[in-house]
Structure formats: structure tokens, C-alpha cells
Amino acid sequence: MEVPAVLQELVVVLGVAVVVVLALSHLRLPTIAGLIAAGALIGPGGLGLVRDAARIEVLAEIGVVLLLFSIGLEFSLARLRRLWRVLLLGGALQVGLTTLGVLAGALALGMPTAKGIFFGFLVALSSTAIVLRALTERHEVDAPHGRLIIGALIFQDLCVVPMMLVIPLLAGQRGGAGALFWVLLKAGLLVVATVLLGRTVVPRFLKDVAATRRREVFILAVLGLCVGIAWLSSLAGLSLALGAFLAGIALADGDYKHQALADVLPMRETLSSFFFISVGMLLDVRVLMRGPLLVAGLVAGVLVLKALVGAVSAMVMRFPPWVAVLAGLGLAQIGEFSFVLAHEGARAGLLSAGEQRLFITMSVLTMLVTPVVLHFGPRLAAGAAHLKRLEALIGAHGPHHLEGTHSDALSGHFIIGGLGTAGRLVTRALRESRVPHVSIDLDPEVVADARRRGESLYYGDITSAEILEKAGIHRARALVLLLDDPVGAARAVSAARRLHAKVPILVRVHRLGDIAELRERGASEVLAGELETALEAVARVLRSADLPEDTVVALVETLRQEHPHGHPSPGPPPPPARPPPPKDGEARAEHLH
């Protein structure tokens, strides 16, 4: 019996990918970089072990669809409303400034205006799949720079279709304007239909499916919704990925999103890996060998231009320099949808065959270095202080003041950084206990929502020494950092420790791997989500076994101390468990006279 060719190619792809990823993991390089490198090694431009990449690209397309679907599941309509300013303003600035920058360079080289605009379109798009995978692995989707990046990526995806429809106009062909209008109309109708389905039909349908108590039927129903809406999106002239994202949003406000996400994740991780391998297969080593200096110059130019544009756009929106640097680095590469635009541009005569091969090779290299750049991004962001002059020039002073506070009257108070779920609970407990506190967050929408509910929260960058001084760090009982951003938490610890050598600092992190660095920077106590969840599970299991409470506490504490990261760090003691009652005039943080 003859072995199918596709099976042979899959064996080669999977085997080489595992070996390359393992080798690069010893160098502490991200998984995505290893997958792209593996694709470049086995593809037609490398060793030629896989000559027909079309089969792999089919699996890759499904992987991207599942990736965007799972991201959509985590972005409810309420969350998107909080992102509208970042999405529209940040995305428009990033796409517009990048296009103008490339156009200016093209005109300086003597290219026609139409071709310069087209090159601007190609460079303006970033890789949704690569960046979202990297942010998810690093638990930075909800970090300030993560929200900025995701908003810009969503805006870019929405721009793909208008860009494609403008190509005939740039090439001097007719009919582009009318087609643009009809596709935009169909896109709007699709969005409205998806929202209505998500509010009416989908919840009832999934309730009936869940009532069967058959997991396989539930998985099929979820995948059917995902693929079905993605297919309708393609019929409307939009991308499959954008349709899958809308499908995820349709389920995001329902009761079944968590189970849907749990069922999709294993397939998403496997199939999206094929996407990164297929991207690597596009790399043409011959183009690189013929003009290494040209390719290197183009790659460096694109990365610098897009990183600078992303950083400036973030600071125009009044984000601090370190957030701007991380956002710029996250958007610095060229995206996968640019390949589609390049193909259409070549058909319309805007790109020659040689220019198309050069562009694809250069684009793949920008994708290859992106995971590495994001991995070392926090160290690069340490030089963000050099952007202070640019920040002052464009008037981005917003994050560096604490609105409405006069901290001189505060003493013995808690400073809470981060208003996620944990931050809101801690703030509420302190407020109801009449313990003085100052709560600070960098998201203006979160602060505005809290103030509309009657809570007293303040807008500021907790990593800024100026903000910490405004919040009264020198007289504070403790600093409590409950950020969703490990980079921001580390910077805040360093800034606080420089200002006050003895103030207790409690930090919450998601990953155990972040504990060592935070303790080196001076954190008094670090709570890791992974460890605390595991210990809570142990405690509940032991209690369900009817063990005495003192035995449960003793066993949990033993496990905590035996864990490699469980030993208390030297330095200032943690804040007392039960602070003394507040003095007169210190009942609430909102009374900062």
C-alpha cells in the first residue's frame, strides 16, 4: 500500500519542527521563532523536504481561524466598547502614519505615487496570528500595551478589504469605488447580523445542545458556528479570520464561552502551529543570498519605522513611554494579510515578480525576529526614559499625573495598582472597612466606569516615580500590585524600592517564572496565580476529606514552603494582616485634602 504524500510531508513537518523548537528552546528563544525557522529549513526555498506547501497551508488557514475565534471568545461586546478609542484612534494613527512614511520613502526614491501608497498598505499591516500567540503565551493580552496592540490589529484586519478594493484604482483600473461601497455595506450587515445572532439565536441553540450532555455534539456545534460565520464572512468579501473573530464575539457574552474555549484550545494550538511553519516555507533563501545587504536594510528599515510609528501613536493617546515602546515593538513586523495584498498587487501590475519575491522574503524575516524582539522587549523598554522629550513635545502628559489627589494628608494608607478583578475586590474590601487607600489604573475607561459607579479611583501610571510620590509612597502602609502586566509590575517594584527602601510590596503574578525577578527587584511578597490556585485546590480536597482545619492549614503551608518559589524573600516584612483602624479624616482615599 502506497503511503499518501500528505502523510509523508506531515511526518517531515512535525519531526523537524519538534527538533528545531527543542534546539532553540535551549537558547531561550520563543516557540514561534522555532516554528518559522523549521518552515524555512524544510520549505522549497530551504532543503526542499516539502515542495508542495499547499496542503500545509490548508491546515494553517484552519489554525488561524481557530486562533481568531478563541481570541473573539475573550472579547465580549462590552470589552470591545472599552477598546473603541484604542481601536479607532490607535489603529488609524498606526496605519495612516506607516502608509505616509513608506510613501515618503518611495517618492524620495523616484517611485510613482500609486506604487508608494500600495507599498504603504503592504507595510502597514502586522501579523495578528504571531503577535496574539506571543501575547497569550506571556499573559500580556490585558496589559496596557497588549490592549493597544490588539486594538491596532483589529483595525488593520478591518482595513484589509478596503485596501484590496483600492488596488484597482491605484493600478488605473475602473470599478473600484463601487465595489468598495458594496463590500463595506455587506461587512456592516455581517457585523450587525453576528451581534443579533449572538444575542438571540446562538444562546438558545447552545442551550439545547448542552442539554444533550454529549461533549462531542457541543464541540461540533461550536466549530460549526465558527466555520459557518467565517464562511459567510468570505462570501461578503472579508477575510476568514475576521469572520472567525466575529463568531467568537457572538459567543463571548453567553454562558458557554468558557467550555467552548476549553474545547477549541487543543485544536487551536496544534493547527496554528502549522500556520507559523507555512510562513517559514515562504522564505526564499536564494533572494536572501543574492542581495543580503538589500534585504537586511529593508528589514531593519521596516522594523524601525513601524516600531517608531507604534510608539508615537501610543504616546499621542497619552500612554507612558515604556508602554509605547512595547506596543511599537509588537506591531513592528509585516503581517500575513500583506501576502494577499501583494498577490493582488502583482496581478494588477503594481508589483513585478522579483519585487514580490523580495517583499515576501523580507516580510518573513520581520515575522521571524518578532517573537525574539517581544521576548527581550522588557529590556528594550528600559530605555523608554529617552522618549521623555518626544513625550513632552506631543503633549502626552496624561499618565503622569494623579487627578484630584493631594496626598500630603495621607498616612498609613494602601496603594493599589491595577483595577482588574483582584484590584476591584481589594479596593472594595478596603473601602467598606474604612481603611485609607489610593487605587490607580492606567486604563481611562476602567477609571471612568468606576467613577460612574461612585467609586473613587485615579488615572495614573503606577510604574512612574512621580505617581508613586503623588500617592504618598513615603507614608504608605504597603504597595499592592495587582497588574495583568508582568513588565509593568517589575518596573513598579523597582521604582517603589528606589523611593522607599522599607515599604512592604505585595505583587500578584500569573507565572511562577516571574517570581525570581520580582524578588530581586525588592518585592516583599509575591503571589503566583499558578501556585495559589494549586494550593487552594489542595486545601479544598483535604477539607472534603473531613480532615481537621489545623491539619489542612499545616499541610498547605508545608507545600508552600517546600515549593521552589515558596520561601519568603528577605527584606521588609509583609503588611500586617489586620491594620489598625484609620484616624479621623483618613477614612477614605477619596478625601485627599
pLDDT in tens, 324-334: 888 888 899 89
Which residue's C-alpha cell is 501608497?
117
Average model confidence (pLDDT) for the chain? 76
- Structural domains in the chain, CATH included, are 5-392 (1.20.1530.20), 402-524 (3.40.50.720)
In this structure, what C-alpha cell is assigned to residue 317? 493617546
In this structure, what C-alpha cell is assigned to residue 39? 518552515
Point out the least confidently predicted range of 174-183, 225-234, 399-408.
399-408
Percent of the chain clearing pLDDT 70 (strictly above): 77
Residue 44: predicted pLDDT = 77
Among residues 403, 391, 325, 332, the alpha carbon closest in space to that of 367 is found at 332
Residue 406: predicted pLDDT = 47
Backbone angles phi, psi at 439, to 5 degrees: -110, 130
* Residues 117-139, mean pLDDT to the nearest whole number: 84
* Residues 250-261, mean pLDDT to the nearest whole number: 74
Looking at per-residue confidence, does 75 or 176 come out higher?
Answer: 75
Among 236-240, 287-291, 502-506, the range with the most confident prediction by mean pLDDT is: 502-506
Instruction: State CA 569 to chain mean position distance.
Output: 31
**DSSP percent split of the chain into helix, strand, coil, nearest 5:** 70, 5, 25
Task: List strand residue ranges (DSSP E) for 206-325, in order.
Answer: none
Which residue's C-alpha cell is 520563543?
30
Spatial separation of the C-alpha atoms in residues 517 and 523, rounded to whole Å: 9
End-to-end CA distance of the chain: 85
Residue 161: predicted pLDDT = 67
Look at residue 288 and tell me whether its pLDDT is greater than 50: yes
Residue 249: predicted pLDDT = 78
Q: Where are the alpha helices (DSSP H) in 331-477?
A: 337-348, 353-375, 377-381, 388-393, 421-432, 444-452, 465-470
DSSP 8-class letter at 514? G
Residue 573: predicted pLDDT = 42
In this structure, what C-alpha cell is assigned to residue 283? 522564505
Residue 586: predicted pLDDT = 39
Residue 401: predicted pLDDT = 45
Asked if 391 and 321 count as a contact pair (C-beta separation under 8 A), the reply is yes
Which strand (E) or helix (H) includes residue 481?
A: strand 478-481
Residue 119: predicted pLDDT = 93
* Residues 381-385, mean pLDDT to the nearest whole number: 58
* Residues 206-219, mean pLDDT to the nearest whole number: 82
Whole-prediction pTM: 0.62
Could you report the per-residue pLDDT of 54-104, keeping only the tens digit for each? 666 676 677 777 767 776 776 666 666 666 777 788 888 999 999 999 999
Look at residue 337 and tell me whether its pLDDT is greater than 50: yes
Look at residue 255 and tell me whether its pLDDT is greater than 90: no
* Residues 167-189, mean pLDDT to the nearest whole number: 69
Look at residue 246 and tell me whether its pLDDT is greater than 70: yes
237 burial via Cβ count (<10 Å: 0-12, 13-18, 19+): middle
Spatial separation of the C-alpha atoms in residues 72 and 52, rounded to whole Å: 32
Which strand (E) or helix (H) includes residue 166?
A: helix 144-170
Contacts of 386 (CB under 8 A, 6+ apart): none
Spatial separation of the C-alpha atoms in residues 150 and 360, rounded to whole Å: 24
Tell me the pLDDT band of 584, cut-offs 50, 70 and 90.
very low
Residue 124: predicted pLDDT = 93
* Residues 411-422, mean pLDDT to the nearest whole number: 83
In this structure, what C-alpha cell is assigned to residue 421? 478583578
Could you report the per-residue pLDDT of 430-461, keeping only the tens digit for each? 888 888 888 888 776 677 777 776 666 777 77
